Amino acid sequence: MKDDNYPDLSLFSALIEGIKPLRQDTHHFKQPVKAKQQFEIKEQQLHADSYFSDTYQPLLPVDGPMRWINTSTDKHELKRLRRGDYSPDLLLDLHGMRQAEAKLELAALIQACVKQNTICCCVMHGYGMGILKQQTPMWLAQHPNVKAFHQAPKEWGGDAALLVLVDIGELPHRR
> Is residue 1, in this structure, part of any structural domain at all?
no
Compute the distance between CA of residue 162 and CA of residue 159 in angstroms, rounded to an integer: 7
Residue 47, pLDDT score: 67
- Find how far residue 66's CA is from the centre of its chain: 25
The DSSP call for residue 35 is P
Residues with Cβ < 8 Å from 36, sequence gap 6 or more?
A: none
Q: What is the pTM of this model?
A: 0.69
- pLDDT of 119 > 90? The answer is yes
Which of 25-34, 106-115, 164-173 has maximum average pLDDT?
A: 106-115
Supply the Cα-derived Rg of the chain in whole angstroms: 30
How does residue 109 score in pLDDT terms, banded at 50, 70 and 90?
Answer: very high
Output phi, psi for 155, to 5 deg.
-70, -15
Judged by average pLDDT, the poorest of 38-42, 94-98, 136-140 is 38-42
Of how many residues is the chain composed? Answer: 175
> Is residue 120, in this structure, part of any structural domain at all?
yes
Number of domains, the chain:
1
- pLDDT of 37 > 80? The answer is no
> Is residue 90, in this structure, part of any structural domain at all?
yes
Burial of 103 (0-12, 13-18, 19+ CB in 10 A): buried
> Is residue 13, in this structure, part of any structural domain at all?
no
Which of 35-39, 50-54, 99-103 has maximum average pLDDT?
A: 99-103
> Is residue 12, in this structure, part of any structural domain at all?
no
Cβ count near 57 (within 10 Å): 9
Q: What angle do CA 170, 124, 175 make, to 5 degrees?
A: 15
> Is residue 20, in this structure, part of any structural domain at all?
no
Residue 13, pLDDT score: 86
Task: For residue 163, list its beta bridge partners.
Answer: 122, 150
pLDDT digit string, tens, across residues 133-164: 999 999 999 999 999 999 999 888 888 999 99
Q: Percent of the chain at pLDDT above 70?
A: 90
Compute the distance between CA of residue 146 and CA of residue 119 in angstroms, rounded to an integer: 10
Residue 104 belongs to what domain range? 36-166
> Is residue 138, in this structure, part of any structural domain at all?
yes
How does residue 33 score in pLDDT terms, banded at 50, 70 and 90?
Answer: low
CATH number at residue 111: 3.30.1370.110
Mean pLDDT of 78-93: 92
> Is residue 14, in this structure, part of any structural domain at all?
no
